[in-house]
Structures are given as structure tokens and as C-alpha cells.
Amino acid sequence: MIILAIESSCDETSAAVLVDSEMRSNVIAAQLIHEQYGGVVPELASRAHQQHIWPVVERALADAKVTKTDVSAIAFTRGPGLLGSLLVGASFAKALALGLRVPLIEVNHMQAHVLAHFIDDPDRPEKPQFPFLCLTVSGGHTQIVRVDGPLDMHVIGQTMDDAVGEAFDKSAKLLGLPYPGGPLIDKYAAEGNPLAYRFPMSEMPDFNFSFSGIKTAILYFLRQQTKENPDFIQQNLPDICASIQHTLVQMLLTKLKRAVRETGIQQIAVAGGVSANRGLRTALSQLGQEQGWSVFIPRFDYCTDNAAMIAMAAKFKYEQGDFTDQTVSPLPRMSF
């Protein structure tokens, strides 16, 4: 079984090749063009996908030492994501599957983030046992997912407004940092005091989250401080970043703790771009140790968007003969 997978839901063009259970390649082309605009510009993202997709696929095949005629199935991200971006990957995958006369597999991007935990990795031999809870945190989503099987997942809590990745990026923008600001907050936070400043944590019912309030609180806080000292941000960047990160991480972990308490499930995974955050990784490991949970944290390159996770999700579908046909079209909003 050789699966060629394509991911193009946002601003990363990626292709991966899975041979049986070995992830042979995972090529990711980032789009730097968005940096200067402070966020992803959808039209520019789809154009960049068009430029990158063929070279990225060729590299993925070459790195995996296979040719396109060896491929058993083509997988692609159907959604959720930006329509124009998804269209490039979907059209490419459909055309290639038609030309090669191989089956086509559609993958839900958020399910794939969760299933990245099942990619074989000698450094991470342990895999989560079903049922497990996955805190799925990215630029567009913040969810607590109950995972009963590879393709049997239910969102039991989610954000009511901004995603936590968006909260990281928007806070970074207020600090004058370029897009995507999440990794930069992480970087500066490493040298700062997480308790230097306090920001309010909004309370939502059940297992749901809200991150729009903290963004406004940070805005007012920075306005006040820079009025008194125009160099406040430059002089205190590590402490500000550490305090923002600490607040966001605590908001996530408070809800996760509640979900564990109420479901009784103690197998805990984290997935999505924000799971690359070192503050979250450390705090979750510590909490897991204290509480006696089994905690699963992905490798850095499987946290942010990548086609390896699409290939992994597709493998489960391939084994069940769950294929799609040429009438399939992308779904910018796609639930599971």
C-alpha cells in the first residue's frame, strides 16, 4: 500500500508518502508571502499553492523513492480550510487519481491532526489507547475531542469565538510581531516570568472555551502601559509573552482537567499547530504526571500542518475501502 497525500487547507503546501506503515516522506512548503500582511491572504495562498504543489509532490515521491505509477491511492484534505487553498489540493488530487486510475481518499483536516499520533515513530513507540481525549488546538480550531476509534470522534467542547492559535497570533500582532506570531510568543516567553502580568481568564459553560476577551484585555493593558512608558513593550517583551502564554495554556488545561474528571478518560493527547508550544507541552506533561494520566505529545513536525497526518488518516480509510469519487468538492466548514 502506497498512499500519496496532499495537504493544502491553509498556507502550507505539503505532500507525504506512506508505504505500508512507514512514513517515507513529508515535504512542507511554507508561504512566507503572508508575513508582510500580518495574516493569511486567501487569494495569495491559493496562488502560492498552485506554484508549489507540483514541485512538492515530486519531492515527496523522490524522497520516498517511489514513482507516481507505484501509488495505490491519492489522499487529500477536503476541509475545513480556506476554499481557494482546498480547491488547489483537491483538484490536483482528483486529476492525478483519474490519470493514474487509483482510488481517491478525502480526509478531514481536524481528524488528521488527531490521527498524527498513530504515525509510526521509533522515538514514540507508545500510541494512545481508545477511548482517549484529544485537545486539538490550531489557528482555526480549539476542541476537546473524544476519540473512540480512528474514524469515530466527537467534539465534546470547543471555542465559542476565536481559536487559541488566533489568540496567540493576534496578541503577537498587538506586540508588533510578524505573522504567525504564536511561535514568536513561545520563543520570547522562554526567557520571561509567566506571573509578571495577570490577564482575565473567561469562563464558559461545559467544556467550551472563549479567547476573544483576553485579546481585548491585552489590548487595553498595552494601551495603558505604553501611555505611561512608550518603550514598555520593548523593555518587557519576554515577561509579556510569558504571561500571555501562561494565561492561554491555563485556560486550555483548566477545561481539559474538567473533561477528564467528567468523562473518566485518562488517556490524553494534544494535536494541532499550538501543540508545538513549549509552554503547553511542559505544562501538560507536568499535569499528566501529577494526575496520573498517560499523555501523548506529537513530534514538532507533526504538530503544524503537514501531509503525513493526511496520509495516516487516509490509511485507516484505505483499510476500510472508504473511497470517494470524482464528484467530491472541498468543504471550507467540515465537521465530523
Residues forming the site for ligand KG4 (CB under 6 A): 10, 138-140, 165, 168-169, 180, 182-183, 186, 272-274, 276-277, 304-305
What is 253-305 written as a DSSP string? Answer: HHHHHHHHHHH---EEEEESGGGG-HHHHHHHHHHHHHHT-EEE---GGGTSS
186 binds, among ligand KG4, Zn ion, none (CB under 5 to 8 A by kind): ligand KG4
> Residue 129 to residues 126, 154, 273: CA-CA distances in angstroms?
9, 16, 22
Burial class (CB in 10 A: 0-12, 13-18, 19+), 195: exposed
Residue 272 or 288: which CB sits closer to ligand KG4? 272
276 binds, among ligand KG4, Zn ion, none (CB under 5 to 8 A by kind): ligand KG4
- The distance of closest approach from Cβ of residue 230 to ligand KG4 in the complex, given in angstroms and rounded to an integer, is 27
Query: Does 138 contact Zn ion by CB under 5 A?
Result: yes
Q: Using an 8 Å Cβ cutoff, are 328 and 78 in contact?
A: yes
273 is in an annotated binding site: no
Residue 186 or 239: which CB sits closer to ligand KG4? 186
The CB density around residue 91, as the number of other CB atoms within 10 Å, is 16
Q: Apex CA 150: angle with CA 146 and CA 152, to 5°? A: 50
41 is in an annotated binding site: no
**222 CB-side CA count, 13 A:** 23
Question: Which DSSP letter does residue 73 get?
Answer: E
169 is in an annotated binding site: yes
Residue 61 or 184: which CB sits closer to ligand KG4? 184
137 is in an annotated binding site: yes
Residue 11 or 305: which CB sits closer to Zn ion? 305
- The distance of closest approach from Cβ of residue 189 to ligand KG4 in the complex, given in angstroms and rounded to an integer, is 9
113 is in an annotated binding site: yes
What is 171-216 written as a DSSP string? Answer: HHHHTTPPSS-HHHHHHHHTTS-TTSS-------STT-B--HHHHH
Tell me, residue by residue from 280 to 309, as one string, x for binding to Zn ion by CB under 5 A and - for no binding: -------------------------x----
186 is in an annotated binding site: yes
Within 80-158, residue ranges assigned H as helices are 83-100, 109-115
Residue 73 or 185: which CB sits closer to ligand KG4? 185
Q: Give the residue ranges of the annotated binding site for substrate.
A: 136-140, 169, 182, 186, 277
Q: Give the residue ranges of the annotated binding site for Fe cation.
A: 109, 113, 305
Binding site for Zn ion (CB under 5 A): 138, 305
